[in-house]
Amino acid sequence: MAFPHPLDQLSVAESDIARQVILEAHGGSIGLIFRSIALEEPPKDELIKFLELENAGRLTFETPRPTRVAKVSYDIVRDDRSHEYTESFVDVQSATEVSRRIVDEVHQAALTTNEFREFTEACLASRLYQKAIAEFEIPDGFRVQIDPWPYGSDSVVTPRYTQGLCFAQDIRSGNEDSNHYGYPLPLIPVLDTYRKEIVRVDRLATGGKEDGLSHGTHSRNVLDLCAPAEYLPELLSRPLRASIKPLSIIQPEGASFQVNNNLVKWQKWISHWLQSSVLYRLSISEMTVPYGDPRPPFHRKQAFDFGDAGAGLIKYFDAILTEPDGTSSVSKNVVCLHEQDNGIGWKHTNFRTQRAVFDLAGGITLETRATGIVRVVNIDPGKRSPWGNVVSGGALTQNHQHLFCVRIDPAVDGYANTIIVEGSLPIPISKELNPFGNGYEVRQRPIKMSQSFDASPTTNLIVKMMNPSKQNPISGNPVAYKFIPSASQLLLAHPDSIMAKRAQFAQHHVWVTKYKEGELWAGGEFTNQSKKETGGVADAVARADNVENTDVVVLHTPVEIRQIHLRPADFFSTNPAIDVPGENNNASLLAPGSDLCCESGGVQKSPEAHLQGKGQI
């Protein structure tokens, strides 16, 4: 073993060194609250040198390795209980603090699980909250459950706030997992996060179309309308169906990939979370969830899952979590890697002999899904709302969007790449070129300066990430990887709204920027309570950098459920999957009692590797 790979996450020992360095630098632990301690990846040029030697199999004991640096994020708590959010960079080999930055107080760090934990405690202790909750008739056998949430943002400048969505939970069964989302309560306590004080309890509108933005139309026994919405088998009022027979996916010889810390080898891909001869980095860079209910305080309902809640920090198979005192704990298995059957890879049947060949070919598919439960708010009896749909008694789901941003840092056979926009366009009828009108034109345009643009299904717009210096020997075109950007709906909030200003990235489908060290987040590093996107894609594009034949980055904003297919374009000289064995899959069984079978010749299952996780993929 000896050295860690430069991209291996920090070990607990390295994390402890970083903590110790910071504690000593501040003269003891008093007044420091640690938020995270994580690997600061080496500068790209240093890392590339290492990776090129690694890919060439030329690593030795003497190979110079990039310095191992920890980024330590923490608060310095001042006497007046205000916090100074600080980022220090620590060389964990020499145990020295290399640099320090006190973040401008206009920015708020992401919420920590610890801050979430403290919310309910502060809430229950608050007289303001107790008085507000006493206005409601909570049935016997129910208790109040509070889901802490990012505060969102409006035009008022506020200190660090957290808000709580309140529900009642039926605990008469004694089951801790009884679904409280069947019983929403129309109030939101607001916490001053640092002072641990509930400063306000917002009241929620519960009316329908006819009530406009007003609230106060509900009754004291607002939960009488509500009904259980249980999903646990033991809490269901009907039996589970018995008609599903097991469908098992078995790999008797184990998986075809190997994992060594974070280094993944699968078939002909070698990737450290996907660093390869195609990509330097592939990641989900941000997701914002704006809600379309204009009734205050719902206008603040907008989550940034990465920037607000720190999902972006979880980017390893096992996540190292940082406690407030700077000590580390390991959270196992936050990301799942598996192979899965992807149906027929390719197939051709020679009609003369009826012989079929099934196989796999080399692309990358990113799929985003929203599979969760909806958080509801109250709606009065018999009313319907333009702002959502009634899904259970007295419970309204509010209209909202899920806008993911995928960040692609290409390395197509080298690091200097050009982004090409390609479209298929009709051409006029002419005797010389298109006498019968069936002809059409494939037009290409290189992106010269950083910019944003939108998907265009009417012209079948394709984004090609091309290496202009490497020619495909067969086609004569430069090697490339390509994808078709999804023409999904962009942010619906008004351009002048705070929601829109905070999520510039959600207002165009594709962004092309020059690579800049540390610029990883589409919506900027600090989204929590932000008034506008800062350091995100819009700022990156505004630099008006040359992006031709250089280290370029592409970002793409789709909504769920979307698949994005990265496909080779003039990249290979032959089908890269041509050497995949194509025997019949012996596990394909006939359905008993019928003579159903799959296609003659059997079905070859074509595997693909999947990375599922929150954060970098």
311-330: contacts with a second copy (CB under 8 A):
317-318
Binding of a second copy by 492 (CB under 8 A)? yes
Output the smallest distance, CB 390 to a second copy, in A: 5
Q: Which residues of 555-580 are buried (b: 16+ CB within 10 A; e: fewer)?
A: bbbbbeebebebbbbbbeeeebbeeb
In the set 26, 203, 338, 516, which binds a second copy (CB under 8 A)?
338
Q: Is 364 in the site for a second copy (CB under 8 A)?
A: no
338 DSSP assignment: E
Residue 294 near a second copy by CB under 8 A: yes
Question: Which one, of 340, 283, 279, lies nearest residue 482 by Cα?
Answer: 279
Count CB-CB contacts under 10 A for residue 484. Answer: 16
Q: Tell me which residues in 405-434 interact with a second copy (CB under 8 A).
A: 424-429, 432-434
Q: Counting contacts by CB under 8 A, is residue 488 touching a second copy? A: yes
Residue 257 interacting with a second copy (CB under 8 A): yes
Amino acid at 119: F
Which C-beta is closer to a second copy: that of 52 or that of 177?
A: 177
| 8 A C-beta contact, residue 522 and residue 512 | no
The whole-angstrom separation of Cα 206 and Cα 298 is 12
174 binds a second copy (CB under 8 A): no
Residue 584 lies near a second copy (rule: CB under 8 A) = no
Reading the block at residue 136, the tokens are 């409601």
Contact status: 563 vs a second copy (CB under 8 A): yes
CB 296 within 8 A of CB 599: no
Residues 6 or more apart whose Cβ sits within 8 Å of residue 387 = 292, 293, 294, 295, 298, 396, 398, 399
Q: Are 533 and 540 contacting, i.e. CB atoms less than 8 angstroms apart?
A: no
Least distance (Å) between residue 361 CB and a second copy: 9
In the complex with a second copy, the residue whose CB is nearer, 281 or 605, is 605
Among 337, 531, 548, 549, indicate the residue that binds a second copy (CB under 8 A).
337
> x/- site string to a second copy, residues 112 to 131, per CB under 8 A?
--------------------
Please tell me the distance from the alpha carbon of residue 61 to that of residue 69, in angstroms, as a whole number: 20
* 560 lies in the site for a second copy, by CB under 8 A: no
Q: Provide the CB-side half-sphere exposure for 195 (13 A, CA).
A: 11
With contacts defined by CB under 8 A, name the span among 49-57, 189-197, 340-348, 411-419 that binds a second copy: 340-348
Q: How far apart are CA 426 and CA 459, in angstroms?
A: 9
Is 166 an interacting residue with respect to a second copy (CB under 8 A)?
no
Which residues 455-474 are close enough to bind a second copy by CB under 8 A? 455, 457-460, 474
Which structure tokens are listed for 350? 């020679």
- Of 499 and 553, nearer to a second copy (C-beta) is 499
Q: Minimum Å distance from CB 378 to a second copy? A: 15
Please tell me whether residue 63 binds a second copy under the rule CB under 8 A: no
Binding part of the chain for a second copy, among 19-27, 54-62, 215-223, 225-233 by CB under 8 A, reads 225-233
Q: Is there binding between residue 393 and a second copy (CB under 8 A)?
A: yes
Check residue 259 for interaction with a second copy (CB under 8 A): yes
Q: Of 263, 264, 302, which Cα lies nearest the Cα of 286? A: 302
CB 4 within 8 A of CB 65: no
Task: With CA atoms as reference, report the closest residue to 183 among 147, 213, 210, 207.
Answer: 147
- Interaction residues for a second copy, span 71-100 (CB under 8 A): none
Stretch that binds a second copy, among 47-55, 87-95, 272-280, 437-445 (CB under 8 A): 437-445
Residue 517 CB, nearest distance to a second copy (Å)?
31
CB of 344 to a second copy, least distance (A): 5
Rg of the Cα atoms in the chain? 27
Nearest distance, CB of residue 247 and a second copy, angstroms: 5
Please pick, from the candidates 163, 275, 392, 467, the single residue that binds a second copy as defined by CB under 8 A: 392
Q: Round to whole Å and give the CA distance between 417 and 480.
A: 9
Min separation Cβ 588 and a second copy, Å: 8
Interface pick for a second copy out of 24, 135, 210, 441 (rule CB under 8 A): 441
Is 490 near a second copy (CB under 8 A)?
yes
Window 532-551: residues binding a second copy (CB under 8 A): none
Cβ neighbour number for residue 390 with a 10 Å cutoff: 16
38 and 9 in contact (C-beta within 8 Å)? yes
Does 449 engage in binding with a second copy (CB under 8 A)? no
Q: Which of 12, 102, 125, 578 binds a second copy (CB under 8 A)?
A: 578
Closest CB to a second copy among residues 421, 455: 455
Question: Within 183-222, which residues bind a second copy (CB under 8 A)?
Answer: 212-213
Tokens representing 113? 């699980």
SS3 331: strand
Q: How many residues bind a second copy (CB under 8 A)?
A: 144
x/- track of binding to a second copy for residues 591-610 (CB under 8 A): xxxxxxxxxx--x-x-x---
Task: Check: CB of residue 326 under 8 Å from CB of residue 604.
Answer: no
Residue 180 Cβ vs a second copy, minimum distance, rounded to whole Å: 9
If you search the block for the tokens 């469908």, which residue do you land on? 247
Between the alpha carbon of residue 105 and those of residues 141, 157, 197, 271, the distances in Å are 44, 11, 20, 38
Q: Exposure of 39 by Cβ count < 10 A (0-12 exposed, 13-18 middle, 19+ buried)? A: buried
Of residues 72, 500, 522, 553, which one binds a second copy by CB under 8 A? 500
Q: Pick the binder of a second copy from 102, 249, 449, 542 (CB under 8 A).
A: 249
